[in-house]
A = this chain, B = another copy of it.
Amino acid sequence: MALIKKPVTGMKDILPAEMRLRDYCIGIIKKTYAEFGFTSIETPCVESLANLNSKQGGENEKLIFKVMKRGEKLNLETAREENDLTDSGLRYDLTVPLVRFYANHTSELPAPFKALQMGNVWRADRPQKGRYRQFMQCDIDILGEPSNLAEIELILATTTTLGRLGFADFKIRINDRRLLKAMAAYSGFPEEEYDNVFITLDKMDKIGIDGVAEELAKSGFAAESIDKYLDLFRAAEGKSGLDGLKTIADMLGDALEEEVRNNLDEIISSVDSTKTAQFEMVFDPTLVRGMSYYTGTIFEVAMPQYGGSCGGGGRYDKMVGKFLGQDTPACGFSIGFERIIMIMMDEGFKIPDENGRVAFLIEKGIKGERLAEIISESQKERAGGKQVLVVRMNKNKKFQKQQLLEQGYEDFREFYVNPIG
User: Could you tell me which A residues sit within 8 Å of B by CB distance?
Assistant: 1-8, 11-16, 19-20, 22-23, 27, 30, 34-37, 39-48, 50-51, 54, 65-68, 70, 74, 76, 79-82, 85-86, 88, 90, 100-101, 103-105, 108-112, 114, 120, 122, 124, 134, 145, 147-149, 152-153, 156, 160, 266, 269-270, 273-274, 276, 322-323, 325, 359, 362, 364, 367-369, 371-372, 375-376, 379, 382-383, 385-392, 394, 403-404, 407
Contact = CB atoms under 8 A, between A and B. Distances in A.
Given A20-B39, A82-B76, A274 B14 contact: no
A371 B270 contact: yes
A253 B183 CA distance: 92
Contacts of A45: 45, 120, 134
B101 A13 contact: yes
Among A2, A22, A269, chain B packs the most CB atoms within 10 A around the CB of A2
Contacts of A376: 273-274
Among A103, A388, A392, chain B packs the most CB atoms within 10 A around the CB of A392
Given A7-B100, A46-B90, A147-B392, 6 more contacts: A7-B47, A35-B388, A37-B390, A45-B45, A45-B134, A110-B403
B15 A41 contact: yes
A81 B76 contact: yes
Contacts of A65: 46, 67-68, 70
Contact of A156 (B120, B379, B392): B379
Contact of A85 (B6, B85, B108): B85
A39 B376 CA distance: 22
Contact of A3 (B36, B44, B50, B105): B50
Contact of A37 (B35, B120, B134, B388): B388
6 contacts: A7-B104, A13-B101, A36-B382, A76-B76, A76-B80, A111-B394
A13 B47 CA distance: 11
A261 to B, nearest CB: 13
B40 A20 contact: yes
A5 to B, nearest CB: 4
